[in-house]
A and B are shown apart, each in its own frame.
Chain A
Amino acid sequence: MPAAITLSNLQKRYRALTALDGVSFAIEEGDFFGLLGPNGAGKTTLISIVAGLVRPDGGTARVLGHDVITDYAASRRLLGVVPQELVFDPFFTVRETLRIQSGYFGLSNNDAWIDEIMHNLDLTSKADANMRALSGGMKRRVLVAQALVHKPPVIVLDEPTAGVDVELRQTLWRFISRLNAEGHTIVLTTHYLEEAQALCKHIAMLKQGRVVALESTDSLLARFDAAQIVLHFASGRLPDALRDRATEPDAIERSRVALRLHSADEVETILATCRAAGAVVDQVAIERADLEDVFLQIMGAAPEPARAVLQ
């Protein structure tokens, strides 16, 4: 059984910029997969290669075993992509847009499924409205609907909740989670790490075109410091002996400092060190690390990839 998406040594350069530098990994069928990284990490380039919008300089990408270049028709039928940009055709209504998108995929009589998608994305009341007349949030819903008209087994969402309200996020994630539960593979890029933590079973992190982390969300959270202790100093400052533990090295002179905590046993040691240094701690809080902490640690710790100087 081929993986939903298989990437093998993908490379892409734009002049002197290396967008992807030998990316290889596989996303299994039925997974809810998060693709994370800062702006410019290569997430959208990677997705665009899988979707056939960008040609790689090297390597291969496959969707359920079908090469995205040599077997493009098959791979695109298996893939639904929600683009990052809010794009639409101003000549058509919502229903016309969805019928046209169905037709591109060879489906001439798809109204029952189109009605169901519109119902699930709260678009039914706008079915006959021209695309120009829709709000940004509604246009985003239509983009999602367009990606789903051909019931693709693999669905890629490139920052689908960027700039949308809470209601749409909840509606969208309810529907996407249902599709995932029914067997569809979901690949998500997002800057909202709490969404990725709540939804994704596996996560890949990209930095400057390279994969710097690739594992299950649970093990990723467990691999790094599980918690942090936040100290508030009534007087004095963080002792030098504890400076290496600070999660934000720039903040060690402040009255509120967060320190990495590897086990509960360390709490008393940290407080004793503060007392010995004459610092008075009046508030203590212990917080679990979340995906954002993990993300910051990985992105901070990952080495800068060596860059070829291009002429």
Chain B
Amino acid sequence: MSSVPAPEVVNGIGRPTGSVFGAATGFRTLYYKESLRFWKVGYQTVGAPILTAVLYLMIFSHVLEDHVKVYGNVGYTAFLIPGLVMMSMLQNAFANSTSSLIQSKISGNFVFVLLSPLSHRAVFAAYVLAAMTRGLVVGAGVLLATLWFDMPGFVSPLWIVVFALLANGVLGTLGLIAGIWAEKFDQVAAFQNFLIMPATFLSGVFYSVHSLPPFWQGVSHLNPFLYMIDGFRYGFFGVSDVSPWTSLAIVGVTALVLAAIALRLLASGYKTRH
């Protein structure tokens, strides 16, 4: 059995090295841990949202397929598929950051992250990337499962990828902010049920905003989730309610503002370091 090295002969271990590789390992580990966390309960975190999205599609397409055409000639089922994919991604990216943080804070094990030399940037990047990973896994699962019902076009895959990444990043960041702010589970539930869910449902997942009366069209345009779904849908059909460049600018600015807020909260130790 080897002995513990005395401090003066600890070959780099336990001594500050300032190593970039050490910092990268810390970030990778937190990202791996956060991803492993949702993967270990995959039935709940991946399987259940895919099933929910498929049920939405079955019911709505059964009722509306023969009655609704969107963008002139796009069938309702094909129109709905990108919306459901994006909705599932948004909700799961948000849920990943919030549920992990609030559980860690309430059970007390967030202390292990706080005791580590991880920087606030590394913590931010790891939590948001893990949330994006879950969102993308769920989104891919929903897309694969729903393609069996109809096949939307893949007119511009680059827009699909860009909006998928940005939207997951925005909701992962928003989830991080909610998780830092919340002190109880019901505060997270309130955030989810009174902000995320309405904003998602009223963003054009199930309809084109052009079908709304002018007043509600105006209200819908204040919702940043609209631009995520609309830009994402543009990648499938080459048609959208708003120019994809406008959507890209709005979603991009939203991502930057939320990232700045989240980084500030982490750096200041708001509700984490007292």
CA distance in complex: A75, B4 (Å): 20
A81-B7 in contact (CB<8A): no
Binds B, one of A83-91, A199-207, A223-231, A296-304: A83-91
Judge if A278 is at the interface, Cβ distance under 8 Å: no
B4 touches A106 (CB 8 A): no
Which positions 143-157 of chain B face chain A at CB distance < 8 Å? Answer: none
Q: Is B273 located at the chain interface by the 8 A CB criterion?
A: yes
User: B15: which A residues are within 8 A, CB to CB?
Assistant: 77-78, 153
For A, the interface residue count at a CB cutoff of 8 angstroms equals 50
Q: Mark B5-20, 1 if CB is under 8 A from A, else 0.
A: 1111010011111110
Question: Which secondary structure dominates where chain B touches chain A?
Answer: loop
Q: Tell me if B29 and A51 are in contact (CB < 8 A).
A: no
**Known interface pairs A103-B26, A103-B29, A106-B26; A119-B16 also in contact (CB < 8 Å):** no
Which residues between 161 and 190 of chain A lie within 8 Å of chain B, taking CB atoms?
A: 178-179, 182-185
Given the known interface contacts A87-B111, A103-B25, A107-B13, the answer about A76 and B7 at a Cβ–Cβ threshold of 8 Å is: no
Residue of A nearest to B113 (CB): A104
Nearest-neighbor residue (CB-CB) of B41 within chain A: A91
User: A152 at interface (Cβ–Cβ under 8 A)?
Assistant: yes
Interface 9-residue window, one of A66-74, A209-217, A257-265, A281-289:
A66-74
Q: Are B13 and A151 in contact (CB under 8 A)?
A: yes
Q: Which of B2, B108, B111, B117 has the most CB of A within 10 A?
A: B117
Which residues of B1-59 are within 8 A (CB) of A? 1-8, 10, 13-19, 21-23, 25-26, 28-30, 32-33, 36-37, 40-41
* Interfacial residues, chain B to chain A (CB-CB below 8 A): 1-8, 10, 13-19, 21-23, 25-26, 28-30, 32-33, 36-37, 40-41, 104, 107-109, 111-119, 269, 273-274
Closest 9 CB pairs of A and B: A106-B22, A103-B29, A74-B16, A183-B6, A153-B7, A87-B108, A104-B116, A73-B117, A151-B14
Enumerate chain A interface residues (CB-CB to B < 8 A).
29, 48, 51-55, 66, 71-79, 81, 83, 85, 87-92, 96, 100-108, 112, 116, 119, 146, 150-153, 178-179, 182-185
